[in-house]
Structure 1
Amino acid sequence: MAQGLNRATVTRLTPPPPSAGEALSSREKAAIIVRLLLAEGAPIKLSALPDHMQAALTEQMASMRLVDRSTLAAVVGEFLHKLESVGLAFPGGIENAIALLDGHISSSAASRLRRLAGNSGRIDPWERLIPLSPEKLLPILNGESVEVAAVVLSKLPVSRAADLLTRLPGERARRVTHAVSLTGNIDPETVRRIGAALVSQLDAQPPRAFDHGPVERVGAILNVTTAALRDDLLEDLSTQDADFADKVRRAIFTFAHIPSRILARDVPKITRVVEQPVLITALGGALSGTLAPVANWLLENMSPRLAQGLREEIEARGRIREKEAELAQSELIEAIRRLDAAGELQLVEPEEEDG
């Protein structure tokens, strides 16, 4: 908001007496600053403020008439002084505060704060709805009336709305698109109430105790077990719940899956973050067994100099115990997962028939 205001603006005004501006309220000072910014042609986005603050500011401006130059200079000087003395800024709004504290407060505490803020009526529910992932917005678009779905699409940025529209079934997408054309005369309060109702539905859902689903959790556990135990457990799972077992197999990423889940160009990234003794143990143990094709694939896609050095070290090392090899291979897999989480590489999704 301070864009357009500077010391040159202040010096153009008559220096104020010591008491100028002291009798003004905070709302009156805010109204003066906004009026001056508008007069200076500075871009300000008051729509980012909560509705009640926009209303209070507008009402205050409507009640004011003339302000003398000395008072104006005093208010501007105070405003600039406060800006220059700011040492730390906090995020505006409860949703931004919760996002800042993500990972530091529990999901139940975050849900309670959202409910309390929503019940107060002093936050825009769409500030919470618009950033939601497509996976959370799609059930709304599919489960609500086409009119509500049309309002949701209309509130989203164009690119995100287009993406969601392509994910809807053909007939549903056509009906929602037609409903968008009927939203021209909808009033802002109705849109706010629709957003509040959708937020209430989200808050009514019980908080999840785990960040990931059962498939991902079982897959992560089996990733670091021995191959023999993993095969036994998957066989038992198949007899109890074949569909769940199949999903777990697809979620599992082990040393054997590297050629099918890693792009060849990403192999050098892996060798840079894995210590050489680990590479020697992992590859050496694989070369002497059924995982030899995986080890050879890795060696073929790293730098020739490194590959030659590793082969010589593996030969000099001699026989590697199976347990040592599996531990080193698990460590290599964990390094790959860290790279994936950091966005340094992207795991290739497994085919349906894998497993």
Structure 2
Amino acid sequence: MTALALPGPVNAMPAGLSRKTKAAIVVQFLLNEDTDVPLTDLPDEQQAELTMLMGNMRYVDRETLNNVIEEFSNELEQIGLSFPGDIAGALSALDGKISPRTAMRLRKEAGVRQTGDPWQRINALDVERIEELVNSEATEVAAVMMSKIDVGKAAQVLAKLPGDKARRISYAVSMTTGVTPDAVDRIGLAIAAQLDAEPPKAFKAKPEERLGSILNYSNSAVREELLGDLEKDDENFANAVRKAIFTFGNIPERLNAIDVPKITRDVKPETLATAIAASSNGNEQEQRAGEFLLENMSKRMADNIREEADAKGIVKPKLGERAMTDVVSAIRDLVNVGEIELLNPDEEE
């Protein structure tokens, strides 16, 4: 009886079917094959129309299905190149290829925002930027942000907030049970809109990081003199620069002991021996750094480096400084390629 009540199958040939009906057949076929079909890329109106069309259809005969799929395959094979189809897609495709200023101007003129999940963009921000956003939003919105970003990053943000604000946000998290997905999406889009409205920055790195990188390669005497003068003008900035600086003397507190063998692999033994020899006659920090490296490399290599360093005796300051800089450069190169990660002394405390 149920079979008799069903409407007849769609058995028209592809030429007699509308393109929308063919699209519905293709989508249903792909879904039956457990293929991921990114329908969310379609405008809301087309998603709704496709859903209604599929809901009103029942089944098609095998000959019609084969003909529709064959026609669809033939059309795909004839496509030589496809484009995004709109300004938003074009801007996303050209992200990083055109200047931020041009991209921002085109977005403003076209009235489009960056595509994609806004929460992925928010979660990709550094802790300090998320902290700024949390401080600028209402407690309830901040609670949603804490719930959407990575747990580790959320913990770092909460640790930086004043105690009273952190407690209010933590309590508000317990009240987010009834928040709808639509509300979470609107909050994410609103925050992303703030990010889109910000003018592009000429420098990605912070001022203290840029100055710290410059001073990494400066003579230690010049570096300390400059930092001393800087402290008189802006003590907070000078302290931030000191934290951003990574020199030979900072190795014990910033380099993981298990990564020392990777350093010895990339630094010539002669250079390493010169750096160790220079550190033995340097300040207390440099002496500790030299011992740290020796203690965490293989015993055989450490004995050879010590022997060669002892044979060098007192190394000329410029030669020693250059060798220590080469060691630091090797560490930074490994950090840049993602092979090792420097420790944050503030976090360990």
- TM-score normalized by the length of structure 2: 0.75
Select between 44-53 and 211-220 the one with higher mean Cα deviation: 44-53
Query: Cα gap change, 1:220/1:160 in structure 2, threshold over 3 Å: closer, same or farther?
Result: closer
The aligned residue for residue 42 of structure 1 is: 34
Distance in structure 1 (CA, Å) of the matches to 2:62 and 2:300: 76
8 Å CA contact 2:140, 2:169 repeated in 1: no
Amino acid at match of 2:170: A
8 Å CA contact 2:255, 2:343 repeated in 1: yes
Deviation, structure 1 residue 73: 0.6
Select between 266-275 and 280-289 the one with higher mean Cα deviation: 280-289
* Match among 62, 65, 77 for residue 72 of structure 1: 65
Deviation, structure 1 residue 250: 1.6
Secondary structure at the counterpart of residue 347 of structure 1: coil
* Match among 305, 315, 329 for residue 320 of structure 1: 315
8 Å CA contact 1:270, 1:335 repeated in 2: yes
Distance in structure 1 (CA, Å) of the matches to 2:73 and 2:172: 52
The aligned residue for residue 266 of structure 2 is: 273
Deviation, structure 1 residue 32: 0.9
8 Å CA contact 1:281, 1:320 repeated in 2: yes
8 Å CA contact 2:260, 2:296 repeated in 1: yes
Secondary structure at the counterpart of residue 343 of structure 1: coil
8 Å CA contact 1:268, 1:301 repeated in 2: yes
Deviation, structure 1 residue 350: 2.9
Q: Gaps spanning 5+ residues in structure 1: where?
A: 1-15
* Match among 278, 286, 300 for residue 305 of structure 1: 300
Query: Cα gap change, 1:51/1:263 in structure 2, threshold over 3 Å: closer, same or farther?
Result: same
Q: Residues 114-133 of structure 1: matches in 2 within 5 Å?
A: 115=108, 119-120=111-112, 123=115, 126=118, 129=121, 131-133=123-125
The aligned residue for residue 344 of structure 1 is: 339
Query: Cα gap change, 1:327/1:104 in structure 2, threshold over 3 Å: closer, same or farther?
Result: farther
2:257 is equivalent to residue 264 of structure 1: yes
The alignment-based identity, stated in percent, is: 40
The aligned residue for residue 171 of structure 2 is: 174
8 Å CA contact 1:134, 1:164 repeated in 2: no
Query: Cα gap change, 1:86/1:256 in structure 2, threshold over 3 Å: closer, same or farther?
Result: farther
8 Å CA contact 2:130, 2:157 repeated in 1: no
Distance in structure 2 (CA, Å) of the matches to 1:297 and 1:196: 49
8 Å CA contact 2:141, 2:187 repeated in 1: yes
The aligned residue for residue 226 of structure 1 is: 219
* Match among 183, 206, 212 for residue 179 of structure 2: 183
Deviation, structure 1 residue 98: 6.8
The aligned residue for residue 29 of structure 1 is: 22
Distance in structure 1 (CA, Å) of the matches to 2:91 and 2:262: 34
Deviation, structure 1 residue 330: 1.0
Distance in structure 1 (CA, Å) of the matches to 2:310 and 2:153: 58
Q: Gaps spanning 5+ residues in structure 2: where?
A: 1-10
8 Å CA contact 1:50, 1:122 repeated in 2: no
Aligned residue pairs: how many? 329
Distance in structure 1 (CA, Å) of the matches to 2:312 and 2:92: 50
- TM-score normalized by the length of structure 1: 0.74
Amino acid at match of 1:333: V
